Each structure stands twice: as C-alpha cells, then as structure tokens.
A = this chain, B = another copy of it.
Amino acid sequence: MTLKVYLSGEIHTDWREQITEGAEGLDVVFDAPVTDHAASDDCGVAIMGAETSKFWHDRKGAQLNAIRTRRGIEGADIVVVRFGEKYKQWNAAFDAGYAAALGKSLIVMHGSDHQHALKEVDAAALAVVDAPAQVVQILRYVLDGRLPG
C-alpha cells in the first residue's frame, strides 16, 4: 500500500526536494501545492481575468489553489507542514488545522525559535521535527520498520 504524503507550507527552500530524494526507493507518492510563488499569486487573474481590487485578485487565486490543496490533503495519509523562518505563513497553519480536522496524521516541521508560537499546531501533530531528514526517517520507519543508524 503506497503511502500518500502531502508537503504543505514554506516554499522558499528546497526541503521538498530533500524529502523526495531522501525517500527514493520507498513506496511513497508525494503531492504539494504549486510552489512557483508568482504563478500561485496570479493564477486566478491569469485564467479568469484581471481585477482592480487586490482583495479579489487574491481571492481568485487562492480559490484556484484551494482546488489543488484540498485534494492533496484529503487524499493524503500523512500531511507534513513546514514553517520557515520568515513570513506569517498563515496558509501553512490553516492547512494543518484542515488536516487535523480530517483526522490525517500530521507531521510539523519548524525551528526551535517557533516552538512556543506553534504549540497549538504541534499539539495536533503525531510528530514534530526540525529537519527534512527526520521526515524521511519517519516515512522509512512507518513503511518498513527500519530506524536510522
């Protein structure tokens, strides 16, 4: 049984690639949001026409991205949500809440400086890690029972 993993959150570093490459050979399929920032911001107006108001410009895009995001989360066995160093990242926390309400197994990844601010999100997770390599180790253990070292 292939393990389906959705990789939500921070889009400015290569953490998704690190996980995907690290998990080579494991029976996992990965899904993720569109990580091209400009495309993600402008997809709505690019396809459905320009808006004069930034609010509706953003809404058109966010709703389009929601088609992909919801399908990814709803179809996943595990949802990994990474919080990076910068920005508000409210969409990441939103995805975590969405996944938690659906009963998905949640893995949260963040640096220790965010520990207190993320305590409610962490409290809904089955694992809290700070590095992509740990996610790979978790996937390998969950699938094959093998531990690192």
Contact = CB atoms under 8 A, between A and B. Distances in A.
Interface residues of A, number: 82
Interface in A85-115: 87-103, 105, 114-115
A115 B54 contact: yes
A75 B1 contact: yes
A115 B126 CA distance: 19
Interface string A104-137: 0100000000111111111110111100001001
Interface of A: 1, 3-4, 29, 31, 34-36, 39, 42-44, 46-48, 51-56, 58-71, 75, 77-78, 83, 87-103, 105, 114-124, 126-129, 134, 137-138, 141-142, 145-149
A117 B138 CA distance: 23
A53 to B, nearest CB: 8
A115 to B, nearest CB: 6
Contact of A67 (B43, B70, B126, B134): B126
Contacts of A51: 53
